[in-house]
Amino acid sequence: MFTGLITDVGEVIGKSDGTFRLRTAYALRPEDAGLSICCNGVCLTATSIKPLAQGAEFSVDVSNETAGKTTLAHWKPGSRVNLERSLKVGDELGGHIVSGHVDGIATIVSITPDGASKRFLFEAPEHLSRYIAPKGSVALDGTSLTVNEVSETRFGVNLIPHSLTVTTWGAKNAGDQVNLEVDVFARYVARLMEFRI
């Protein structure tokens, strides 16, 4: 489990047959292999770790299933990646509950300045739009965000300057695709509603 609060922006430094190698500022040790790291919203297992003078390098294996349902198939050396380590009991839950199980891909329709912030408008897959509600939560590329408005399959969010600076969002453009995880509670409520008598 994660919170959707990004704690590092890593970089893809290698790619080979479904295995990616990333560099991070996290102080990881070889014995930490097996831990979960949320990478652009996708929960992945660090399979090997190489400590560096500052931070570390770690490898993750990406299955065809994951590559086909996320944006990870487009990763290449130099790609910047939002990272978050898994939640520990007692940690502050500042965002919302994020599983790291991406539901689909959303596309940025437009980006509009709003003072020092930016408003992003997204197009969501139709089968997921029913789980997105105004003032509800979504995880986009692993970032916990509050939904401003919803109109059919489109929804908007606002990113403040801090979020634009400490994540990959400051470099996003209209037309870019992002990983979308809908609020797990919305998904369960919708499922329960199907069985109402």
pLDDT for the residue 197: 54
| Domain spanning 8-85, CATH architecture | Beta Barrel (2.40)
Can you tell me the distance from the alpha carbon of 95 to that of 146, in angstroms, rounded to the nearest whole number?
Answer: 9
Q: Which CATH number does 104-193 carry?
A: 2.40.30.20
Domain(s) labelled CATH 2.40.30.20 in the chain stretch across: 8-85, 104-193
User: pTM for the whole thing?
Assistant: 0.93
The one-digit pLDDT tens for each residue of the chain (197 residues) are 899 999 999 999 999 989 999 999 999 999 999 999 999 999 999 999 999 999 999 999 999 999 999 999 999 999 999 999 998 777 777 788 899 999 999 999 999 999 999 999 999 999 999 999 999 999 999 999 999 999 999 999 999 999 999 999 999 999 999 999 998 777 767 767 777 65
pLDDT for the residue 51: 97
**Closest to 31 in 3D by CA, of 58, 53, 52, 49:** 49
